[in-house]
Structure 1
Amino acid sequence: MRMLAVVALLNLVLVASEAITLEPCALALELTFWRMSGYLGYTLADWLCIVHHVSDFSIQPPLSKTAEKAYGIFGFSNKYWCSDGVQPSRNYCNISCEKFLDDDIQDDVLCARRVLTRNEGAQTWPQWAEKCRGKDLSSYLKDCKL
Structure 2
Amino acid sequence: MKAAGILALIISLSIIAESKVYTRCKLAKIFVKAGLDNYEGFTLGNWICMAYYESHYNTTAQKILEDGSVDYGIFQINSFTWCRNVRRQQKNHCHVACSALVTDDLTDAILCAKKIVKETQGMNYWQRWKKHCEGKDMSEWKRGCEVS
The two structures have a TM-score, normalised by structure 2, of: 0.86
The residue aligned with 1:56 is 56
Does 1 or 2 have the higher relative contact order (CA < 8 Å, sep 6+)? 2
Structure 1 unaligned regions, length at least 5: none
- Contact 2:85 / 2:99 at 8 angstroms: preserved in 1? yes
The residue aligned with 1:37 is 37
The residue aligned with 2:141 is 140
The residue aligned with 1:13 is 12
Structure 2 unaligned regions, length at least 5: none
State the AA in 2 paired with 1:44: L
**1:107-136: CA deviation from partner (whole Å, max 9, x where unpaired):** 111101110111101011111111111101
RMSD: 2.1
Structure-1 separation of matches of 2:118 and 2:142: 25
Structure-1 separation of matches of 2:27 and 2:61: 19
Q: Between the two proteins, what is the percent identity of the paired residues?
A: 26
Aligned length in residues? 142
1:134 to 1:62, Cα distance in 2 relative to 1, 3 A: same
**1:56-98: CA deviation from partner (whole Å, max 9, x where unpaired):** 1012252426411100111010011101121221111011000
Q: Does 1:130 align with 2:134?
A: no
- Contact 2:72 / 2:102 at 8 angstroms: preserved in 1? yes
